[in-house]
Structure 1
Amino acid sequence: MGPEGRHAIVIGGGASGVLLAYQLLKTNTPHVRVTLIEKRPEIGRGLAFHAGNPEHLLNVRVTNMSALPDDPEHFWNWLCARPGGPLCPDPYCFVPRQTYGDYLADLIAPLMSADPTRGLTIVRGECATIRENPSDVAVTLADGTCITGTTAVLATGHDAAAPLLAGHAEPWASPTDAGIDTNATVLILGSGLSMVDYVLSLLRHGHQGRIVAVSRRGLLPRAHRRVDPMRFAESEIPFGAEIGPLLRWFRHRVEMHVAEGGDWRGAIDAIRPFTQRLWHELPLSSRRRFLEHARAWWDVHRHRTAPEVEARIAEALATRRLTIIAGKLTIIAPNPGGAIVRYRRRGQSDTSELQVGAIVDCTGIVRDPGASTNPAVRSLLDDGLARIDPLRIGIDVTRECAIVNRDGSPSRRLYAVGPLTRAAFWEIIAVPDIRQQCAELAARLGNHSL
């Protein structure tokens, strides 16, 4: 560590960036400073926790949402200390996502410093380019401002998909702001958690028209239940096995657990501490097969909804306010009323036609970094400072979160955390996983010169 101190530039002020900044600064180490770059007006929000529909609940129980891996009750205690109380009777509940955004903002606020040589500095703006030099990193913002530091960490979170067609509604914008006619038929692309959120938004804003969701398999997320996880002995898990034997083993263990009176959710929760190692030791060909054939089923069982959200969606399905179609779009033809959409149901050769007033793409985040519109990511890829992993689901990073360049060499100054690192870690989109990753990276950077 040089006499000028250590300066980490964290690019992205959503959950990943806030958790990392907190871990870097929590010990109040002298001569350590963090600059957090975020283009949105609020810190800690991002796509996941922006202030929106209060009916958009966390998909993880309060008890698992502490920002601090060494203090599991931190979020619950924060909720209990609020003037209005904790909003729910015990930690095994689900609170609005915007409340979690408030929590992250409160977490980071005490670390902000008026002294530019230490503590946290928030810079509002968009990172345009990142350069790695022999002795520092240089980050240039869209307005031309240049910031130099000893380390830069990409924490840009989920990259939103580019619009499917002009005039389509963004999934994070309210139906009213998007100008959606309350009587129009709304087509939602995807049937996962983002679709569930948007249906709740439509119903909250008094939508009367049909809501049709189309996805390849037509699978809906399952819901949480109050169940105890089963226990796996590490020695019984077939690490390094091909995906076929691994899934057969897991299905057999789930069936045994259910036969003994357990709930499948207990088995899914029990395997979670081992999923990153399983992914790391899975052969590349097996990872590819998993993504193509098993990922959709894993996602709907692993990433679940709150029970109260399940009830709202079940009611919408029962009253035919919502229809789920397993199929594939073949043509979207815009017209004055919105668009004519043709689709083919799964397993059928004939196509069907539907006039829709609005289309909302809820297929989720950009999965191929090559399609990213994020200028910081594009800068690294275009300059060869980063490369896309062989499965094209993230940028290539080491197990220590160092970004790997075009030639295969890991950087000593550029790192990444959160969803961008899914190629190496797979299960790295939820707070319980990201908080641990950020704590470990902060510890490594603290033990070495930033």
Structure 2
Amino acid sequence: MTSPSRRHVIIIGGGASGVLLTYQLLHRPTSDLRVTLIEQRPDIGRGIAYHTGNPDHLLNVRVSNMSALPDQPDHFWRWLNSHNADASLCPDPYCFVPRRIYGDYMASLFEQQTSDPTGARRLSILHATCVDINEGPAGGSVTLDDGRSLMADNVVLATGHDTRANLPAHANPWAPPSAAHIDTEATVLILGTGLTMVDYVLSLLRDGRRGPIIAMSRRGLLAKPHRHIDALRIEEADVPFGASISRLLRWLRGYIDRNAAQGGDWRSVIDGLRPYTQRLWHELSQTSKRRFLEHARAWWDVHRHRMAPEVEARIAEVLDRGQLALMAGKVISIEPNNTGARVKYRLRGHSDPLDIQVGAVVDCTGIVKDPRATLNPAVRSLFDRGLCRVDPLCIGIETDRNCAVISRAGATSRHLFAVGPLTRAAFWEINAIPDIRNQCAALAALLADTGGEASRRTAS
């Protein structure tokens, strides 16, 4: 194992979470640790969200909130101004730019590391797949698909969203529709009505789609649009931490109503609550968390995770002309055939089943709901070895508040950590850059300054 002055951290995953953590680790002023980043894709910093080349796929967070650096809130805005020759693309910090541009921004953070001689010596990038993770008394070890084994003081999972395997007659929601070879006149059924569905509809339209598009979810709710609204300042003392979910939602509705009576917008209240959402989640009882997931999550999501105004206009247009239809219902069965699939479904509030022939089914319901169903071999190995466990709600692996992984036996790891969406069980709102950047900065400080000792003290 390396000496204390040259500690070694391995990060599994080179998407946004991995890049943000790497950047923070290499910029700690008192640290001289080494970082090895393992990513199977050729591009660093793009992951699922930012690899898209479709210019219609915009960020769903405005530029002013998308800085990678917590201590420099205008960092992305300044980078955009210095790298973008077209000023009309983003005239002010309230704009929403194509996600591929944000991928360029993420990549630029890495270019800074590799171009600096000191940073380059401390950073290693391995394009490979991690197939196994283990933990010993002195640190962690990883095995790659090419047979190499690496040791480190700490190993951090930054694997991002875990996508589903495609079923027969299902098109890949993360690939261009042209790759699915769907007849442009055939009906396309999209499962889910969230932001992933919105992206795929935009992809279908860019690909020349002329046939009907049906988007179906349990409630048929569509994401709300952003507006040029500033977050309301909500005092911490006014937030009912530790309340039941029913009381918390009553408080939130009342706050929104009072703000609206004074001419305010509900968006400002939702955005003003953002600094407190992780603490609110942490202090909810398991019963309240479960009730939220079952009954209120869909409503929260459409108000919290919103569309850019330009995207709203495109979706409204295709809804108005009848090409896109939103349905509240549930799929009963999907039977593949020579022209796509026959789908049997039931509309919400109705008992009689209906059926329809579609050219393709696209599952845009989002991430894998139960982490134990993961296709990622690195995460799979932790479950197999008993080094991690799923949380009681089956939405993520269990970690403590310092991101340390908790084993099947309930022990807090001394060397294994996780960041990003995989930690939603502890942090809940940990999907977007503003939340992940703060988490990565805090973990970088812990690992660089104490080697994780603070987490061990917390566990004891």
Q: Same fold by TM (over 0.5)?
A: yes
> What do residues 386-439 of structure 1 show as CA deviations (whole Å, max 9, x unaligned)?
010010000000000000011111111100000000000001000000000000
Partner of residue 292, structure 1? 294
Size of the aligned set, in residue pairs, is: 449
CA contact (8 A) 1:30 1:118 kept: no
CA contact (8 A) 1:12 1:155 kept: yes
Partner of residue 65, structure 2? 64
Deviation at 1:116, TM superposition (A): 10
For 1:379 and 1:241, how far apart are their aligned partners in 2?
37
For 2:345 and 2:398, how far apart are their aligned partners in 1?
36
- Residue 127 of structure 1 pairs with residue 130 of structure 2: yes
Partner of residue 137, structure 1? 140
1:225 pairs with one of 227, 242, 249: 227
> What do residues 317-376 of structure 1 show as CA deviations (whole Å, max 9, x unaligned)?
000110111000011111111111011000000111110001111000112101111111
> What do residues 271-300 of structure 1 show as CA deviations (whole Å, max 9, x unaligned)?
111000100000010000000000000000
> What do residues 72-104 of structure 1 show as CA deviations (whole Å, max 9, x unaligned)?
110011011115245210110000000000000
- Residue 216 of structure 1 pairs with residue 218 of structure 2: yes
Partner of residue 110, structure 1? 112
Partner SS state of residue 47, structure 2? coil
CA contact (8 A) 1:32 1:118 kept: no
For 1:21 and 1:431, how far apart are their aligned partners in 2?
14
- Residue 11 of structure 1 pairs with residue 6 of structure 2: no
> What do residues 227-267 of structure 1 show as CA deviations (whole Å, max 9, x unaligned)?
12222221111110111111111111111111111001011
Amino acid paired to 2:100: Q
Partner of residue 192, structure 2? 190
For 1:167 and 1:149, how far apart are their aligned partners in 2?
43
Deviation at 1:122, TM superposition (A): 0.8
Partner of residue 171, structure 2? 169
Partner of residue 24, structure 1? 25
For 1:230 and 1:22, how far apart are their aligned partners in 2?
31
Partner SS state of residue 47, structure 1? helix
**Structure 1 residues 10-89: aligned runs within 5 Å:** 10-27=11-28, 31-86=32-87, 87-89=89-91
Deviation at 1:115, TM superposition (A): 8.1
The TM-score with structure 1 as length reference comes to: 0.97
CA contact (8 A) 1:31 1:118 kept: no
Deviation at 1:167, TM superposition (A): 4.0
Amino acid paired to 1:148: M
**Structure 1 residues 323-362: aligned runs within 5 Å:** 323-362=325-364
| Residues 5 and 331 of structure 1: CA distance in aligned 2, closer, same or farther (over 3 Å) | same
Partner SS state of residue 235, structure 1? helix
For 1:97 and 1:133, how far apart are their aligned partners in 2?
40
User: Which one is further off, 244-253 or 106-115?
Assistant: 106-115
For 1:108 and 1:310, how far apart are their aligned partners in 2?
33
For 2:12 and 2:204, how far apart are their aligned partners in 1?
33
Amino acid paired to 1:266: S
User: Which one is further off, 63-72 or 176-185?
Assistant: 176-185
For 2:214 and 2:413, how far apart are their aligned partners in 1?
46
For 1:420 and 1:120, how far apart are their aligned partners in 2?
24
CA contact (8 A) 2:90 2:97 kept: yes
| Residues 376 and 32 of structure 1: CA distance in aligned 2, closer, same or farther (over 3 Å) | same
Deviation at 1:109, TM superposition (A): 1.4
For 2:66 and 2:84, how far apart are their aligned partners in 1?
20
CA contact (8 A) 1:403 1:414 kept: yes
Deviation at 1:51, TM superposition (A): 3.2
CA contact (8 A) 1:79 1:85 kept: no
| Residues 3 and 190 of structure 1: CA distance in aligned 2, closer, same or farther (over 3 Å) | closer
For 2:345 and 2:361, how far apart are their aligned partners in 1?
14
Q: Which runs of 5+ in 1 are unaligned?
A: none
CA contact (8 A) 1:14 1:44 kept: yes
For 2:98 and 2:369, how far apart are their aligned partners in 1?
26
Partner of residue 418, structure 1? 420
1:273 pairs with one of 252, 258, 275: 275
Deviation at 1:177, TM superposition (A): 1.6
Partner of residue 149, structure 1? 152
Amino acid paired to 1:346: R
Partner SS state of residue 48, structure 1? helix
Partner SS state of residue 241, structure 1? coil
For 1:421 and 1:63, how far apart are their aligned partners in 2?
25
Partner of residue 449, structure 1? 451
Amino acid paired to 2:206: R
For 2:240 and 2:403, how far apart are their aligned partners in 1?
25
User: Which one is further off, 266-275 or 178-187?
Assistant: 178-187
For 1:3 and 1:27, how far apart are their aligned partners in 2?
15
Amino acid paired to 2:427: F
For 2:30 and 2:149, how far apart are their aligned partners in 1?
25
User: Which one is further off, 61-70 or 351-360?
Assistant: 351-360
CA contact (8 A) 1:33 1:117 kept: no
Amino acid paired to 1:73: D
For 1:411 and 1:91, how far apart are their aligned partners in 2?
41
For 1:142 and 1:347, how far apart are their aligned partners in 2?
49
- CA-based RMSD of the aligned residues comes to 1.5
Deviation at 1:42, TM superposition (A): 0.2
| Residues 324 and 2 of structure 1: CA distance in aligned 2, closer, same or farther (over 3 Å) | same
CA contact (8 A) 1:230 1:267 kept: yes
Amino acid paired to 1:293: H
Partner SS state of residue 333, structure 1? strand
The TM-score with structure 2 as length reference comes to: 0.95
CA contact (8 A) 2:64 2:73 kept: yes
Deviation at 1:114, TM superposition (A): 7.4
Amino acid paired to 1:142: D
CA contact (8 A) 2:5 2:33 kept: no
CA contact (8 A) 1:15 1:46 kept: yes
Partner of residue 457, structure 2? none
User: Which one is further off, 288-297 or 76-85?
Assistant: 76-85
For 1:439 and 1:153, how far apart are their aligned partners in 2?
13
CA contact (8 A) 1:217 1:326 kept: yes
Q: Which runs of 5+ in 2 are unaligned?
A: 453-460
